[in-house]
């Protein structure tokens, strides 16, 4: 999470791709302000649900390894969520490391 004087600016999810069963598993590492908000009707829940859908739709990419499946999933997620796509916080370089960053406003309670 990137912080500014006004509060959180971005949130970054980081995964160990070879051991990731699905993106919603990242909920275990949510910041305290979001951990109890991971329920239907909240932004963070919607994000993780959509990310799981993108992950499932990208299953065919898993034959090329978990990194390729992650890349395809993040690209699909970016079509409907404001995924940061420019360096230094975003883009394929960060995605290849198992990271994805979004503006805090996308998941803010």
Whether residue 2 has pLDDT greater than 80: no
Whole-number pLDDT of residue 68: 97
Q: How many domains does the chain have?
A: 1
Whether residue 3 has pLDDT greater than 80: no
Distance CA 10, CA 55 (A): 22
Q: What is the mean pLDDT of residues 4-26?
A: 93
pTM, entire model:
0.93
The parent domain of residue 38 ranges over: 2-106
Q: How do residues 35-92 score in pLDDT, each as one tens digit? A: 999 999 999 999 999 999 999 999 999 999 999 999 999 999 999 999 999 988 889 9
Distance CA 75, CA 58 (A): 10
């Amino acid at each position: 999470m990137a912080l500014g004087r006004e509060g959180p600016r971005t949130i970054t999810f980081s995964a160990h791709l070879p051991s990731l069963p699905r993106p919603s598993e990242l909920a275990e590492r949510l910041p305290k302000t979001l951990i109890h908000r991971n329920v239907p009707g909240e932004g963070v829940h919607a994000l993780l649900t959509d990310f799981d859908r993108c992950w499932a739709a990208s299953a065919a990419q898993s034959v090329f390894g978990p990194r390729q499946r992650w890349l395809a999933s993040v690209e699909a997620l970016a079509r409907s969520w404001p995924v940061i796509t420019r360096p230094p916080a975003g883009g394929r370089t960060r995605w290849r490391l198992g990271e994805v960053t979004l503006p805090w406003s996308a998941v803010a309670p």
